[in-house]
Amino acid sequence: MSDVYFDDLELADRFTSEPYTVSAQAILAFAQEFDVQPFHLDYAAADESVFGGLAASGWHTAAIAMRLFTTGPLRFVGGAVGLGVDELRWPVAVRAGDCLQLETEILDARLSQSKPKHGILRIRNVLTNQKGEVVLSYVANALVQRRPDAAR
């Protein structure tokens, strides 16, 4: 679905992204810029950490989920503005070579009180690896535009 508006979605609708493969280089580059902890930066230190090997920063994993959300089947006209996120969890670490895929579910939809041309979607994003393990999940509220002929 491209050119999506608030009014085009229904509760329990689900959307799946393309797959995305994470390289060791990408894990190291993100960590060097944003999360300079040994288990994200150094193979030997990572082996001795609770991760038992190089693991992506959780914020890198979250950024990959956003990439898959914004390049996926739900292309909102005017974009989707994140209002807040809860229940952000990383049950399994992301490793170099992992192939990730995002599933988005519409949990709730309500009109915005303050912006009559917009609605607020409550969504659950779940990112899984090639084994089907959940590596990231969260619930988010996002502000999206209403279809012009619906927003009166």
Interacting residues with its own copies (CB under 8 A): 30, 33-39, 49-51, 57-60, 62-64, 66-67, 70-71, 78-90, 115, 118, 143
Which residue's CB is nearer to its own copies, number 12 or number 86? 86
Pairing of strands 20-21, 99-111: antiparallel
In angstroms, give the least distance from the CB of 39 to its own copies.
Answer: 6
For residue 23, give every residue at least 6 positions away whose Cβ sits within 8 Å of its Cβ, in sequence order, or none.
96, 97
In angstroms, give the least distance from the CB of 103 to its own copies.
Answer: 18
> What is the distance between the alpha carbons of residues 92 and 59, in angstroms, rounded to a whole number?
14
In angstroms, give the least distance from the CB of 140 to its own copies.
Answer: 9
Residues 41-69: b if buried by 16+ CB within 10 A, e if exposed: beeeebeebebeebbbbbebbbebbeebb
Which residue's CB is nearer to its own copies, number 12 or number 44? 44
> What is the distance between the alpha carbons of residues 40 and 33, in angstroms, rounded to a whole number?
11
In angstroms, give the least distance from the CB of 6 to its own copies.
Answer: 13
> What is the distance between the alpha carbons of residues 61 and 90, in angstroms, rounded to a whole number?
9
Which residue's CB is nearer to its own copies, number 27 or number 64? 64
In angstroms, give the least distance from the CB of 17 to its own copies.
Answer: 13
**Residue 69 contacts residue 144 (beta carbons within 8 Å):** no
Which residue's CB is nearer to its own copies, number 11 or number 78? 78
Which residue's CB is nearer to its own copies, number 11 or number 89? 89
